[in-house]
Chain A
Amino acid sequence: EVQLVESGGGLVQPGGSLKLSCAASGFTFSGSAMHWVRQASGKGLEWVGRIRSKANSYATAYAASVKGRFTISRDDSKNTAYLQMNSLKTEDTAVYYCTRGVDYWGQGTLVTVSS
């Protein structure tokens, strides 16, 4: 059974940092591109970014709204993807989901940026 489990969410002050993790199981993680998508309360879905596999040079891509502040990485030995979030803004407050392409999504982790 495919599982994606996000962790690391919480309350952080504006300007602060947070690192989210996405633990994967049930599929060949090392061969899969992994994405992060977020959703502010009562709002729609916003793609954050993705990291490709080793075979694709771990290439990353980001939404303009987070480029330069967020970094996606992965550790294939741990079947885990990460989202490092720096210089956080109140508008980054959202539930953050990790996804394997289009088909599998985690349950999400809430990030709240507030003073």
Chain B
Amino acid sequence: DIQLTQSPSFLSASVGDRVTITCRASQGISSYLAWYQQKPGKAPKLLIYAASTLQSGVPSRFSGSGSGTEFTLTISSLQPEDFATYYCQQLNSYPVTFGGGTKVEIK
């Protein structure tokens, strides 16, 4: 199985900060990576797919990059509504796997 390691697992930041979350795969997954945002009590929301393609309706302050084994999600200017938990997911091979999550909290 492909393991996804997210870092950091917890992040404290202020409104307006630039935030970067990393997801490392245990083996190459090309660009078969998605990023999600999840708020308490809600289903995950797709932000980025194919490593760098912004889902329709998602603000442009979110961006994704990477291929192979290392990927990043960047929020260029953190907004109050962005405080949430973020997950990466690989769809290169089965079983599909998720990273452990990064919780972004207000500093």
Which residues in A have some Cβ–Cβ distance to B below 8 Å? Answer: 35, 44-47, 50, 61-64, 97, 102-103, 105-108
> Do B96 and A35 touch (CB < 8 A)?
yes
> Do A46 and B43 touch (CB < 8 A)?
no
The answer, yes or no, to whether B87 is at the interface (CB within 8 Å) is yes
- Give bound CA distance, A5 to B49, whole Å: 23
**Which chain B positions have C-beta within 8 A of A105?**
43-45
The answer, yes or no, to whether B80 is at the interface (CB within 8 Å) is no
**Which chain A positions have C-beta within 8 A of B67?**
none
30 intermolecular pairs with C-beta atoms under 8 Å apart: A35-B96, A44-B87, A44-B99, A44-B100, A44-B101, A45-B36, A45-B38, A45-B44, A45-B89, A45-B98, A46-B98, A47-B95, A47-B97, A61-B94, A61-B95, A63-B95, A64-B1, A97-B43, A97-B44, A102-B34, A102-B46, A102-B49, A102-B89, A102-B91, A103-B46, A103-B55, A105-B44, A105-B45, A106-B43, A107-B43
